[in-house]
Amino acid sequence: MERQLYKQEPSTAARREVQAAVARFLTAGFVALILVATPVIFWIRAEAEQHALANARDMTQRLADNVVGPLITTELLARDHAALELLEQRLAPWLATGTVTRIKVWDEHGTVVYSDMDSLIGQQFEQEEWARKLLQGGPATATLENQTEQENLYESASGELVEVYVRSRSVSGAPMIFETYSSGENVRREQHAVLMSMIPPMILSLAVLQLAQLFPAVRLARRIQKHQAAKHALLQYAIEASDQERRRVAGELHDDVIQDLSGLAYALESEERRGPPDLRPVFSNARLMLQNTVRTLRAMTNELYPPDLQRLGLRSSLTQLTAPLVARGITLTMDLPEQLIADRERAVLMYRVVREALVNATKHSSATSIHVRISQSDRVTKITVSDNGHGFEPNVEGYEGHYGLRILGDTIKHAGGTLDVRSSPGAGTIIHVTLAGPSQPGTNNGRAARRNQRKQLLDRAPG
């Protein structure tokens, strides 16, 4: 005999369900925090870089206007040593403190008229489009990058540098380009400082928001769990009430209707033997009809009142469904787990699913081969019943046998599961049922708690 398997108490399962919901909420909140914080951090970093470059551009413009411009004289353009020496002395403090690491002054023809590297003075490079626009009054530029151009021979090994181009004028009014290079470390330090000043309050604000949402989330999870428990209790009550009603109907059929019809059949058999010869065929046909009706009613009684699943076990009860079909020449194969885990209510529901599918396949589909497969995981029980019968159109209302599946589908839906029927004329039928679970059956204490819960639900019911 198959032994029924039991798990933890429903209260323990409820607590774990709430804890799992809270854990999922915290995980989702942490992921959301990362997703929100990451682009914000990159945006802050880019803004800090632009701010630092803007500062470097403003500083270079002031240096060009106030220091370099007034010293770009005709003598300097003619490479007079004294004029070059004077400009170099004025720029020495910026070079000495590391504010800038390289200085160049270009004329409008692309010739270097001054540089702190004497070897660059007098060299001429091709003017690019941005340089022509700058000389015509375009905006100053500042970039942070490695220097690899031809005119950056002496800066290519210095790593990241801030390169700034601003427009200036000589004493004679000729447009000039003033170029400076400074270490990129200053920009990176400013970026880091801005990030460190903004990230902690931003993360703290998001964390506080997450914690503020945690308590309502816990309350919501508990409310949902209570509603689910109440729904499960109502389902159990409905299944028990259905079983009681089925037992009552089956008892009345067996004790009253079937007995009366059986007695009438015996009476007809007696009349058939002793009655007038010309009426014996009538009595014989009536007796055969009654006997067929009695057999049909006995079969209906067995269908109305399923076997004792708790005593026999679900697996054994399902296996018993094989014999009547085999006797009718139908091939039935079952692929069942070694141990089927289900409480009483869920076991009854699983039994009804398989039995209704078999009834549908044999009575309405004329199937000759049926396959039943049940699989279980920690969260889901799946039942698949497939046959090679005539098939039908599931969407056609009023199809013979369709109502039984609809009623079964409503029961499965109330139990929190799903029913999927796939069929077409001539292609057989496949019934997929998914139930939440395996359900968590309780011990005697669990059943007593459920009885108390059902009593409370009935006490609160109107009327």
Check pLDDT > 70 for residue 451.
Answer: no
Average pLDDT for the chain: 77
pLDDT of residue 444: 37
Given this model, what pLDDT does residue 166 score?
92
pLDDT higher for 82 or 459? 82
> CA of 360: how far to CAs of 58, 316, 409, 432, in Å?
85, 21, 14, 14
Instruction: Name the DSSP letter for residue 294.
Output: H
Tens of pLDDT along 5-17?
333 344 565 667 7
Please give the single-letter amino acid code of residue 193: A
Q: Please tell me what DSSP assigns to residue 152.
A: G
What pLDDT, on a 0 to 100 scale, did the predictor assign at position 457? Answer: 41
Average pLDDT of the segment spanning 8-30: 69
Amino acid letter at 168? S
Q: Given a cut of 60, is residue 4 above it in pLDDT?
A: no
CA-wise closest residue to 76 among 150, 180, 181, 174: 174
- pLDDT at position 304 is 62
pLDDT, greater one: 63 or 460: 63
Q: Which residues of 103-140 are buried (b: 16+ CB within 10 A; e: fewer)?
A: bbbbbeebebbbbbeeebbeeeeebeeebeebbeeeeb
When pLDDT is averaged across residues 17-43 and rounded to a whole number, the result is 80
Superfamily of domain 46-183: PAS domain (3.30.450.20)
pTM of the model: 0.43
Q: Who contacts 264 (Cβ-Cβ below 8 Å, separation ≥6)?
A: 290
Q: What is the Cα–Cα distance from 431 to 386, expressed in whole angstroms?
A: 6
Q: Where are the domains of the chain?
A: 46-183, 312-463
CA gap 302, 325 in Å, rounded: 14
Q: Could you read off the pLDDT of 91-110 as tens digits, one per residue?
A: 888 888 777 888 889 888 88
The secondary structure of residue 274, as a DSSP letter, is: H
The residues pairing with 143 across neighbouring beta strands, listed in sequence order, are 163
d(CA 22, CA 33): 16
Chain centroid to CA 164? 49
> Residue 441: what pLDDT?
41
Residue 403: predicted pLDDT: 61
> Percent of the chain scored above 70 by pLDDT?
81
According to CATH, the topology of domain 312-463 is Heat Shock Protein 90 (3.30.565)
> How many Cβ atoms sit within 10 Å of the Cβ of residue 315?
20
The pLDDT-based confidence of 396 (bands split at 50, 70, 90) is low
* Residues 448-457: b if buried by 16+ CB within 10 A, e if exposed: ebbeebbeee
User: What is the tens place of the pLDDT at every residue in 356-382?
Assistant: 888 778 777 778 889 999 988 877 889
Please name the amino acid found at residue 363.
Answer: K
List Cβ neighbours of 246 (8 Å cut-off, separation of 6 or more).
304, 305
Residue range 188-204: mean pLDDT, rounded: 80
Angstrom distances, CA of residue 158 to CA of 146, 153, 277:
8, 10, 126
Q: What is the pLDDT of residue 373?
A: 92
- Per the DSSP assignment, residues forming a β-bridge with 433 are 383, 419
In this prediction, residue 8 carries a pLDDT of 39
Question: Residues 253, 297: contact at Cβ < 8 Å?
Answer: yes
Residue 366 token pair:
């004329």
Mean pLDDT of 224-240: 73
| Among 119-123, 133-137, 182-186, the least confident range | 182-186
How many helices (H) and strands (E) in the chain? 13, 10
342 pLDDT exceeds 80? Answer: no
Instruction: Determine phi and psi for 299, rounding to 5 degrees.
Output: -65, -40
CB neighbourhood size of 237 (10 A):
18
Higher pLDDT pick, 194 / 133: 133
pLDDT reported for residue 141: 87
Query: What average pLDDT does this structure show over 420-427?
Result: 83
pLDDT, tens digit, 9 for 90 and up, residues 265-318: 788 778 778 878 887 788 788 888 888 888 777 767 766 656 666 677 888 888
Q: Which pair of structure tokens corresponds to residue 389?
A: 């019968």
In this model, does residue 336 exceed pLDDT 80? yes
Q: Spell out the residues 6+ positions from residue 190 whose beta carbon is closer than 8 angstroms to its own.
A: 48, 51, 52, 55
**CA-to-CA distance for 49 and 41, rounded, in angstroms?**
12
Q: How many C-beta neighbours within 10 Å does residue 85 have?
A: 11
Least confident of 124-133, 289-298, 337-346, 401-410: 401-410
